Chain A
Amino acid sequence: MTTPEIPQRSWSQRWHVKAVGWTALLVALLMGSSKMTGVDVGMFFSNFDQFTNLLVRMSQPAWSYVPIIIQPLYETIQMAILGTTIGTVFAVPFAVLAASNLVHNRWLRGIIRLILDLVRTLPDLLLAAIFVAIFGIGSTAGVITLAIFSFGMISKLFYEVIETIDMGPLEAMESVGASKVTIIWYAVLPQIMNQFVSYFLYTLEINVRASTVLGYLGAGGIGVFLQRSLSEFDYNKTAVIILATLVVVMVIDGVSNHLRRVLL
């Protein structure tokens, strides 16, 4: 038996070099950032009355505006549904090609994953601005933006699901000589269908949230009215729009959460 040794703290542990280093780095970064962004806490409070004025005007929603925004709210949901669906249709083949247990060619998988990573880096509003320039103002630009946005998201979620499936049924079918398509249809799909639908609904929730602001840049839906009310300083209308958006988002979240619970 070896004699027990009392553990000794090294010099760097004793003086907490790591913690001090990280803290110093963070403080330096934060100071640099606040200098660069011109943060001035005093200015915020000296202009606070302007901010409260705005809040006061927003706290008196113009309820008469509600009937006007119902149609654009529908349009927002319709855009989200179509955009998510189109994105999903394109995402499925990419997800299959990116899954390491189905595609053994490492180069093909790497290229597909790189494409998906690149697509996911682009913020939705940036895409919307570009598609409005291409397709003109209207919901077409919004649907395409949401399609690309959900394509990037769903393909990643889907290939991660595919990678977790049980390979047993696949091997069984392979051993009796089934074709690739038959294997995917009878061995892969039944295992992943519920999770696919669940992720589809989850993406739909996110897209409903996203589509409410896309219109700000002209891509259709309620955002168009949001932009109008803000540029006309009609903050009581802005308040109605935000409240209505909140209701829609909560209803969609509720329905989608319920469906996902039924599925899983």
Chain B
Amino acid sequence: MNMQTTMANKPEKPVHLNPWRRWSWLIWLILVAGVYTWAITGLHFTGLQESAGSVSKSIVHGLVNPDWAYVYNGSGEDLVSLIIQTLAIALLGTFVSAIISVPFAFWAARGEHEWGHLRSGSGKIVLTLIRTFPEIVLAIMFIKAVGPGSYAGVLAVSIHSIGMLGKLFSEAIENMDRGAEEAIVSAGGNSPQVFMLATIPTIMPEFISYTLYRFEIAVRSASILGMVGAGGIGTPMIFAIQTRAWSRVGIILLGIVVMVLLIDTLSEQLRKRLI
């Protein structure tokens, strides 16, 4: 609040300053201080292991001396194979979710002549519900249905991504340029024609761009879904951490970092060419 008064280009002092504005900083200060006192006193920082120092030392040692033999040994359970499997989970999951997201997006996009935002509002709520449902719980539920393995991971990514992709897609629809649609309408096109010839071509680059962006996120989540048994690189990672095999942890971490950097760069290049 006082920021605005200092930033304003008025040389003369405001004569009657509202007392609320004058003292609001103090109220904010008290509020913030209260929140932090609550946060700090509420947490128990006990349970610190005495071994924390030695464990960190062996982690650093393992990270500096990664288990290079694990990179590829032809067994199908090595780093390269599992990283490819992780990427496969992310790719397939994102693709399926992108297709399912399209109807959700049209449901949640606010229409121009919509009465009371009933349709779009309900769509937005559903998308928020999907987004907040933890991906790990989804993975565990799908493991019950199809057994442990990367198939469960694909299903978890496909469903969870709808929440975010549907939201991004619907915002793209709300902000899209209506010119092409109006042109087809004025030329006498019916609504399927408008959709196929104007809506889809206008919206497609943005949809693909968002899907690529979501793929970057899916790669990260696919690499941790294995921790609950949904396939990919996460499974050997959690085993290595539990058995304190730190050089193995080191090489897996390295693999994930390289994978994520590569995918992010690749996807960014593709997205730049799209828009």
Q: How long is the Cα–Cα vector from A26 to B92 in the complex, in angstroms?
A: 10
Q: Chain A residues near B40: list those with CB within 8 A.
A: 78, 82
* Chain A residues proximal to chain B, CB less than 8 Å: 26, 29-30, 32-34, 36-40, 43-44, 47-48, 50-51, 54, 74-75, 77-79, 81-82, 85, 117-118, 121-126, 129-130, 133-140, 143, 190, 193-194, 209, 212-213, 216-217, 220, 226, 230, 238, 242, 245-246, 249-250
Q: Chain B residues near A194: list those with CB within 8 A.
A: 3
Instruction: Say yes or no: B85 contacts A217, CB within 8 Å.
Output: no
Kindly specify which of B11-19, B114-122, B218-226 makes contact with the partner chain: B218-226
Q: How long is the Cα–Cα vector from A36 to B90 in the complex, in angstroms?
A: 12
Q: Chain A residues near B140: list those with CB within 8 A.
A: 230
Instruction: Say yes or no: A130 contacts B223, CB within 8 Å.
Output: no
Interface size on B, residues (CB 8 A): 67
Instruction: Say yes or no: A33 contacts B134, CB within 8 Å.
Output: no
Looking at the complex, which one of B88, B223, B257 makes contact with A33 (CB distance below 8 Å)? B88
Instruction: Say yes or no: B92 contacts A138, CB within 8 Å.
Output: no
A-B contact pairs, 20 of them (CB 8 A): A34-B92, A37-B89, A40-B146, A47-B145, A77-B39, A81-B36, A118-B257, A121-B220, A123-B256, A125-B224, A126-B223, A130-B241, A133-B55, A134-B56, A138-B45, A139-B43, A140-B47, A213-B136, A217-B227, A246-B129
Q: How long is the Cα–Cα vector from A98 to B238 in the complex, in angstroms?
A: 34
* Chain B residues proximal to chain A, CB less than 8 Å: 3, 6-7, 35-36, 38-40, 42-49, 52, 55-56, 59, 84-85, 87-89, 91-92, 95, 128-129, 132-137, 140-142, 144-146, 149-151, 153-155, 220-221, 223-224, 227-228, 231, 234, 237-238, 241, 244, 249, 253, 256-257, 260-261, 264
Taking A75-B43, A125-B136, A126-B237 as known contacts, 16 extra A-B pairs with beta carbons closer than 8 A to each other, sorted by chain A number, are: A36-B85, A37-B149, A38-B150, A47-B145, A51-B144, A74-B42, A75-B42, A125-B227, A129-B227, A130-B241, A139-B45, A190-B3, A216-B228, A245-B132, A246-B129, A250-B128
B250, chain A: closest CB distance, angstroms: 11
Q: How long is the Cα–Cα vector from A135 to B52 in the complex, in angstroms?
A: 6
Instruction: Say yes or no: A123 contacts B132, CB within 8 Å.
Output: no
Q: Chain A residues near B95: list those with CB within 8 A.
A: 26, 30
Instruction: Say yes or no: B151 contacts A130, CB within 8 Å.
Output: no
Interface of A is mostly: helix
Instruction: Say yes or no: A136 contacts B3, CB within 8 Å.
Output: no
Given contacts A30-B92, A37-B89, A54-B144, contact A245 B244 (CB under 8 A): no
Q: Chain B residues near A238: list those with CB within 8 A.
A: 137
Q: How long is the Cα–Cα vector from A138 to B48 in the complex, in angstroms?
A: 8
Given contacts A51-B144, A136-B52, A193-B3, contact A123 B39 (CB under 8 A): no
Given contacts A51-B145, A121-B257, contact A216 B92 (CB under 8 A): no
Q: How long is the Cα–Cα vector from A106 to B59 in the complex, in angstroms?
A: 32
Instruction: Say yes or no: A134 contacts B137, CB within 8 Å.
Output: no
B135, chain A: closest CB distance, angstroms: 8
Instruction: Say yes or no: A135 contacts B39, CB within 8 Å.
Output: no
